Chains A and B, each alone.
Chain A
Amino acid sequence: MKKLLSWKIQLIVLALVVVAEFIGIKNFDLGIGVVALFPMLYALIIGAVISLPKLKLLSEKDMNIAANILGISFMLFVAKLGTLMGPSLPQLMDAGLSLTLQEVGHFFGTIVFGLPIALLLGMKREAVGATFSIDREPNLAIIAEKYGADSPEGRGALGVYVCGTLFGAIYLTILASIMANTGWFHPISLAMGAGVGSGSMMAAMTGALAIIFPESANDIALFAGAANLITTIVGTYVCIFFSLPVTNYLYRKLEPVLGRRSRNSETKA
């Protein structure tokens, strides 16, 4: 049973929410584009500073409780997005083709971009675990079952998992803001792209997009939620039957070409 109850954590979160909502949304026009700062980002960043081990404000136990609460708290957000879907089913059906196809982008995107670069950087089997998916908990379980958690593949997957947990939400928020400012994509396309299959990352990206395109805020939440739901539903199956075999196949084809030949460049994940 994971421990969830801690007055200390809940009171800090209450204080963070009050402060963050008081500051409110701030738009900064940097000339090249608008950078949107918004309450959930303040809560994330101030929270991260509070948790820094150097400050000794939170114990390991406190942080574990915060992580356990995080693990179930995004269900409330998902429920809220679900309530937007019921009344909008016709609208979702109408966008059905894009909504279905973009999932191919979610699942292929990690491999097409990640694997060649991992190989060019000299990674070996770590590259397979690192790039076959976005390496959230369900994906880690798949890798652990097939190769073992302590295998090169397992270490690669765990590395991306840790980076994603620490910096995923903030990095994707910046990226989503940059993409929104280019004007290359329709807000709804970006919203669907935001449905990467991780609750906190999707929430942060949806927030950034909703502020940059306030007139489409509700549709952005609707489509991000729908895409995220599809990613989650089919995710496990796609990873086992498609992503992992494809990544392994491409590894065999690409490694001899892109991989570094010298033995002494054996990588550490």
Chain B
Amino acid sequence: MLDKIYTFILIGAIAIIGNWIGYDVSPIVALPGMLIIVAITVSGFIVEKLLPVKLPVVIWVSFIALLVTSPIFPGNESISKATGHINFMALATPILAYAGLSFGKDLKEFKKLGWRIVVVSLIVYTGTFLLASLVAEIGFRVTGKFH
């Protein structure tokens, strides 16, 4: 758990620097928001460990983030304001950097695959994105929302 906390703090620090360069938010302004995001994430892991119900950590993290920024939670407005200084794009940049750095790992496995499975995977990803967008679009047009 401790190495996870170190890792989150490191990623947070890197994202604060990215947020500074890319979105002109000074690290001092961004710090409280990032600490809150790290705290929410760590709480998610703790809740997952402690509760007997087995659900993916990502659900607990989302739920806690939603809870502390919802109107029923004391101080929700200051929390939202602080986390609002962290641009979500700045937070995604380090994440995709880790994704990039692990690329070579699966390359050997990839070379063993036939071309058919590559085509099918692209279709699978296209299908899930397009059909969901299409259904959402139909939903919006039927209910008249967003149009």
Contacts and interface: CB of A to CB of B under 8 A. Distances in A.
Interface of A: 4-5, 9-10, 12-14, 16-18, 20-22, 24, 38-41, 43-53, 58, 60, 62-64, 66-67, 69-70, 72-87, 89, 94-95, 97-99, 101-114, 117-118, 121-123, 126-127, 130-131, 134-135, 138, 156, 158-160, 162-169, 171-172, 175-176, 179, 184-186, 188-190, 192-196, 199-201, 203-207, 210, 221, 225, 227, 229, 232-233, 236, 267-269
B26 interface: no
B20 to A, nearest CB: 8
Given A22-B21, A40-B95, A113-B126, 8 more contacts: A14-B14, A78-B61, A78-B62, A80-B83, A87-B80, A98-B140, A160-B120, A194-B129
B8 A76 contact: yes
Interface residues of B, number: 97
25 contacts: A20-B18, A20-B93, A20-B97, A21-B93, A39-B90, A43-B94, A47-B98, A62-B101, A67-B98, A69-B98, A70-B99, A73-B7, A81-B88, A83-B37, A86-B80, A95-B145, A105-B132, A110-B127, A123-B116, A188-B140, A189-B133, A189-B136, A203-B95, A206-B88, A207-B89
Contacts of B113: 159, 162-163, 269
A156 B119 CA distance: 12
B30 to A, nearest CB: 12
Contacts of B100: 16, 43-51
B119 to A, nearest CB: 7
B108 to A, nearest CB: 8
B107 interface: yes
Contacts of B46: none
B118 A82 contact: no
Contacts, number: 420
Given A86-B65, A194-B129, A207-B92, A105 B14 contact: no
Q: Is the interface of A mostly helix, strand, loop or mixed?
A: helix
Contact of B91 (A12, A51, A80): A80
A47 B61 contact: no
A30 B61 CA distance: 40
A21 B132 contact: no
Given A43-B96, A73-B7, A196-B129, A185 B37 contact: no
Interface of B: 3-4, 6-8, 10-12, 14-15, 17-18, 21-22, 36-38, 40-41, 44-45, 56-59, 61-71, 73, 76, 79-80, 83, 86, 88-110, 113-114, 116-140, 142-143, 145-147
A220 B8 CA distance: 25
Contacts of B14: 10, 13-14, 17
B58 A80 contact: no
Contacts of B8: 72-73, 75-76
8 A-B pairs closest in CB distance: A47-B100, A82-B65, A86-B69, A193-B133, A98-B139, A113-B127, A109-B131, A105-B132
Nearest to A48: B103
A76 B50 CA distance: 20
B135 to A, nearest CB: 4
A75 B114 contact: no
A203 B101 contact: no
